[in-house]
């Protein structure tokens, strides 16, 4: 990073604000209620209302899965968009960069609730964003909602649910349809393995979810396969296998850890 870019990003960060907005008794679509839902955010620039009091320069920028609002302070993003005369010049725009539920410094399962954290979906995350913008930051109108990946999907939901609150959306790196294929498989696996399993173990115990490995009561002839109850030998030495359909490979059963 050049010294000029470094100084520019430092100046951008210095002109902004950061904080957390707490929503009390937030009700999720599942019906579960969290007494306090915390949304961390960063803002750059200042809101500019028109004569009628309607904010005209606010832009909500939404990150993808596993990210946070801080990623939009990188040279690849901020260095191309936030400078003088650039599309999101912070001298003329008010940028809102939240950490979504489950990400960054906002409320997430790893804060302590772990598997007991309410199940949340995109609609819950978008509802929380809306509450942050309107109730937390008192912004009554958005010039633009833009997002990348998961944030891109959120921007489509904003367009569907709150069309009167904004002028437009810029969805980046997604399509307005359900996720499928490998993307959906990995997300489902991650979600499922953090929930209670047949042995009574959960993600809160920090144990491997070994019960999810398919097992048969016996194998004939007896061989060291991880799905056979009569398998022998250390789990880490048991071979990988191919499913009967020949399309899915299952890794050896992991050794439980405490």
User: Given this model, what pLDDT does residue 219 score?
Assistant: 52
DSSP string over 193-234: TTS--TTS--GGGT---GGGS--BS--SS----TTBTT--S-
Among the listed residues 134, 112, 98, 135, the one whose alpha carbon sits nearest the alpha carbon of residue 35: 112
- Domains (range + CATH), the chain: 3-177 (3.40.50.1820), 213-258 (no CATH)
DSSP 150: H
**If the chain, 258 residues long, is cut into consecutive pieces of 10 residues, what is the mean pLDDT of each piece?**
61 77 98 98 96 97 96 92 95 97 96 92 97 98 97 96 97 89 86 67 52 48 48 43 43 43
Exposed/middle/buried for 222, CB within 10 Å: 0-12, 13-18, 19+?
Answer: exposed
DSSP 1: -
DSSP 32: -
User: Given this model, what pLDDT does residue 14 score?
Assistant: 63
User: Given this model, what pLDDT does residue 191 score?
Assistant: 78
Beta strands, E only, 65-118: 94-98
Distance CA 59, CA 48 (A): 12
DSSP 239: P
User: Given this model, what pLDDT does residue 189 score?
Assistant: 86
Among the listed residues 22, 29, 21, 25, the one whose alpha carbon sits nearest the alpha carbon of residue 124: 29
Q: Count of CB atoms within 10 A of residue 58's CB?
A: 25
Distance CA 125, CA 127 (A): 5
Question: What are the angstrom distances between the C-alpha of 28 and each of 39, 131, 134?
Answer: 15, 13, 18
């Amino acid at each position: 990073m050049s010294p000029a870019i470094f100084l520019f990003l430092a100046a951008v960060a210095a002109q902004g604000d950061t904080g957390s907005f707490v929503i009390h008794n937030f009700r999720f679509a599942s019906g579960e209620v969290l007494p306090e839902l915390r949304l961390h955010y960063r803002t750059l620039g200042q809101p500019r209302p028109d004569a009628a009091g309607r904010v005209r320069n606010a832009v909500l920028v939404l990150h993808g899965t596993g990210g946070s609002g801080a990623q939009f302070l990188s040279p690849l993003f901020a260095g191309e968009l936030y400078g003088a005369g650039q599309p999101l010049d912070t001298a003329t725009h008010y940028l809102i960069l939240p950490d979504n539920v489950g990400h960054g410094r906002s409320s997430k399962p790893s804060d302590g609730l772990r598997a007991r954290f309410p199940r949340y979906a995109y609609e819950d995350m978008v509802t929380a964003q809306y509450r942050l913008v309107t109730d937390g930051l008192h912004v009554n109108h958005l010039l633009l909602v833009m997002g990348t990946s998961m944030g891109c999907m959120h921007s489509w939901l904003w367009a569907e649910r709150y069309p009167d609150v904004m002028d437009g959306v810029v969805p980046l790196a997604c399509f307005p349809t359900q996720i499928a294929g490998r993307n959906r498989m990995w997300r489902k696996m991650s979600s499922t393995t953090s929930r209670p399993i047949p042995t009574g173990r959960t993600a809160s115990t920090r144990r491997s979810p070994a019960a999810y490995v398919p097992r048969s009561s016996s194998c004939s002839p007896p061989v060291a396969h991880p799905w056979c109850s009569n398998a022998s030998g250390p789990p880490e030495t048991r071979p990988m296998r191919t499913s009967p359909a020949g399309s899915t490979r299952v890794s050896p059963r992991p050794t439980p850890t405490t």
